[in-house]
Every structure is written in C-alpha cells, then in structure tokens.
Amino acid sequence: MSIEARDIVAWLRAAAAALEAQREQLIELDRAIGDGDHGANMDRGFKAAMQRVEALDTTDIGQILRTVAMALIATVGGAAGPLYGTFFMQMASQAAGKASLSPAEWAAALEAGLQGVMDRGRAQKGDKTMVDALAPGIEALKQALAEGADLAEALRRCAVAAEEGMRATIPLVARRGRASYLGERSAGHQDPGATSAYLILRAAAEALGAVP
C-alpha cells in the first residue's frame, strides 16, 4: 500500500477543486474576522499551483510538493501564503527524491508540514488558526495507522478529526493572526484558515482513500 506521485497530483487537484467550490464560504468566514480575502487567495493560489504541477514531468513527490509551495508563496496574499507555503515545503523536504510514500511516510510528511506551520506562525492548538484542524487530523491519522487501520480508514479518520477541530474554533478567542486584533469579538466565528486546512485534508481522504 503506497501513495504514488500520480496520487499526490490527484490529491492536489481535489484540494484545488474543493477550495474553488468553497471560495465564497471562505470569503464570508474571513470577512467576519479577517480581511475577507482568504477564499479568493486560496482559490487563486491553488489554481496557480496546479498550472505548474500539471506542467511537470516528474515522479519526484518532493519536487511536486515544492512546486506547490513556491506557487502558493508567490500568489497567495496575507499570512496564508507563507504558512501554506511552509506546510508544503516541509512536506517536500520529507518526500524529496521519493516516487512513492508509505502511509507512515505520508503521515510523517504531514507532521513535518504541521510543525513548519506552528514554527512559522508561532501558533498552537487552541489559538484559532489552521493548526486547529491540521493537528487533530494528523494525530488521528497517526493513531489510526498505529492501530493497524488501512490507508483509506486512516484518511477518513483524519478528515473527521480535522472537521471536528475546525468546528471547535467557533467559540475560541483568536490568539494569532488578524483575527486576534478583535479580541473577544472573534469568538462565535469559524476560523477560515482551519476551514481551508480541513478542506485540504478531506481532499486527501477523497483522492487517496481508494489507493490500492
């Protein structure tokens, strides 16, 4: 059971499609506690990333992920560009030179991406950021694999936990990012960054869950 380069591209396509489909929702969420541009930025960034990825002729997963990282850094505005760029760049470092990843290697790459985001944004779980979806999702993935679950089930649990983490941001007071400027007024709103992170992890469950 392994994840091939073509599967990574399928995941990225699914993520780009999800972000395009939820563009307006992300805009509305960000309008409540941010600049209102998260949906447009993520949609634009992933479209740019996919243009570059589709032009590649490589089975190096690290190169594919690095291409995504550079595109997001170049095209996504605000804090999301550097943060998601860091996420994919750290994943790329873990996958450098590999044409396939085992489920454990996939989890390690995601965990490296999460750590990069936490270091770059100085964010922890509970700060009302993308970490609140990524951290529980990746932890659930690792736990499922440790229990012997197959890849599809582990990815499903990852998406479920990420969704729960995303929804758990609603009552939180933001401690990082632009939303933190609102103080107590940031409570009662779902975090847009956690929402886009959930969509990306859900896309992995959809695109990679059927990998034999």
pLDDT value for 182:
66
Q: Is 55 helix (H, G, I), strand (E, B) or coil?
A: coil
Q: Which residues fall within 8 angstroms of residue 197, CB to CB, at 6 or more apart?
A: 130, 133, 134, 137, 162, 166
Task: Report the top-level CATH class of 3-208.
Answer: mainly alpha
Residue 31 has pLDDT above 70, yes or no: yes
pLDDT value for 1:
77
Of all residues in the chain, what percent carry a pLDDT higher than 70? Answer: 95
Whole-prediction pTM: 0.94
pLDDT value for 96:
97
CA dihedral of residues 20, 116, 107, 161 (deg, nearest 10): -60
Q: Is 3 helix (H, G, I), strand (E, B) or coil?
A: strand
Calpha distance 56→65 (Å, rounded): 11
**What's the pLDDT band for 210 if we cut at 50, 70, 90?**
low
DSSP letter at 209 equals T
Q: What is the pLDDT of residues 125-166, one digit of tens each?
A: 988 999 999 999 999 999 999 999 999 999 999 999 999 999
Q: What is the pLDDT of residues 178-195, one digit of tens each?
A: 676 566 777 888 999 999
**What's the pLDDT band for 33 if we cut at 50, 70, 90?**
confident
pLDDT value for 211:
53
Residue 36 has pLDDT above 90, yes or no: no
If you average pLDDT over residues 51-71, what whole number do you get? 97
| Mean of pLDDT over the chain | 93
Bridge partners of residue 100, in order along the sequence: 4
